[in-house]
Amino acid sequence: MIFEPGTSEYQRATSPHNATAVQRPAVVARPTTAAEVGDVVRDAAVRGLTVLPQATGHGAGGTIGNDTLLLDTSGLDQLEIDPVGRTASAGAGLTWATVNEQAERHGLLGLAGSSPTVAIAGYTFGGGYGWLTRPFGAASSALRTVEYVDGAGQVRIASQDAEDSIDRDALWAFRGGGGVGIATRLEFDLVPAPDLHAGYLLWPVHDLPAVTAAWATALDQIGDAVTTSISVLHAPPGPPIPDDLQGVPVVHLAIASTQGDDPARPLLDAVRAAADPAADTWGPADAARLASIHLDPPTAVPAVGDARWLTAHTPGVAVSILTAATQPDTPLALVEIRHFANAAPAAPGAATTTPGPFALHTVAALDDPSRRPAIEDALAAVRELAAPVDTGWSIGSWVEGAVSVPDAVPADIRARVAMIADAVDPDRRIRRSRYLL
């Protein structure tokens, strides 16, 4: 289906989740099959347009104009769950909420991120780091095959045992390197989570030092089944934030365990003893509850952010980093540190492991463009605080509102992905991943 400017469907497709992006493409296409995607690519070539695929637009940034055809992948929504093989075959436009709603009916889950509205493709191709990374590894490592369309409009299958070396190389690039061509379907492993528990705890911001110290000390007492993050959050007024914490910064600890309550007990006991939480939702969870503990906004927001991989020394400086979000008149909506240390096996790929045991995530809402200089200064200040424990690498899929994220992978990895992208699309008919721009 083709949508011209001025139509309601064009407006919907060009209103990405990250509302900082300005999207005014020449036309929007919403194919429903890989063959139709190929037709779109060939049509774009005739029109002299560059094709930009987009599902939900969580990773959108910058401006696209009338030299671009926006390919809305939301029509690629087929889903098959194989409970015996523990795999999913999913259209590239599907969100993790949809996939895991079906997978959990079979006692399985996909390696989703923190937001239920993130689409599976961009997240996975950016590495895919979420609440299940510690026990099971990155989503990119769970990727088995990718059906994709090349720059000539040909439908191809990227797999480790593909006959054509281009397709073998393409799978390597799809595994964390941002991907190549236009993905239409992903096949990936699902994991069992028979005793999933999850929740979040909230405290007034004056409890930040005590709670953070307790969290840091208890990390050595939990196994890989447990993932936690601690943050200072400026949440909008309204549920689920308690009335007495609305409109002020709060300490937010999110926690998930794939093996029930016991592995998480040492950390929960420690933070509860440090200060009485104002809210405590820990308990048995399904996929929807797991996806809600980060308290992500459900609707489009104009977000600008930064994300860095940090070293094992992070707990020692965590309080000073998080305190940046408590300053008066700060434009920051979130400063978060998440624990990712794990020993999960990884498949070969551009980025299938965690480059550091901790991750830093900083976000601000750009609701007024005149605030951008203040936001950039605040993001830079947090990065400076974290500099002693910075690994030198960004978490590409977590960097909100960016046109390019060149430091998401090492230079040699980036160069190899670029070579694969050129082989798949030598005429550059398809817009490159922001890891290559």
Q: pLDDT digit string (tens) for 104-162?
A: 999 999 999 999 999 999 999 999 999 999 999 999 999 999 999 999 999 999 999 99
Query: Which tokens in the block code for residue 174?
Result: 């799809």
Residue 61: pLDDT band by 50, 70, 90 thresholds?
confident
Beta-ladder partners of 189: 87
Cβ atoms of 186 and 121 closer than 8 Å:
yes
Structure tokens at 272: 């509860």
The pLDDT-based confidence of 237 (bands split at 50, 70, 90) is: confident
**CA 202, CA 250: separation in Å to the nearest integer?**
7
**Hey, what domains does the chain have and what are their CATH numbers?**
2-73 (3.30.43), 79-192+410-424 (3.30.465.10), 197-398 (3.40.462.20)
Rounded Cα gap, residues 116 and 68, in angstroms: 28
Q: Which residue has the tokens 């930009």?
A: 52
- Rounded to the nearest 5 percent, the helix, strand and coil shares of the chain are 35, 25, 40
Return contacts of 159-167, CB within 8 angstroms, 24+ apart.
166/420, 166/423, 166/424
Output 296 or 109, whichever has higher pLDDT: 109
Judge if pTM exceeds 0.85: yes
pLDDT-derived band at 238 (thresholds 50, 70, 90) equals confident
pLDDT band at 370, cuts 50/70/90? confident
Distance CA 398, CA 72 (A): 21
What's the rounded Cα separation, in Å, for the pair 403 and 121? 18
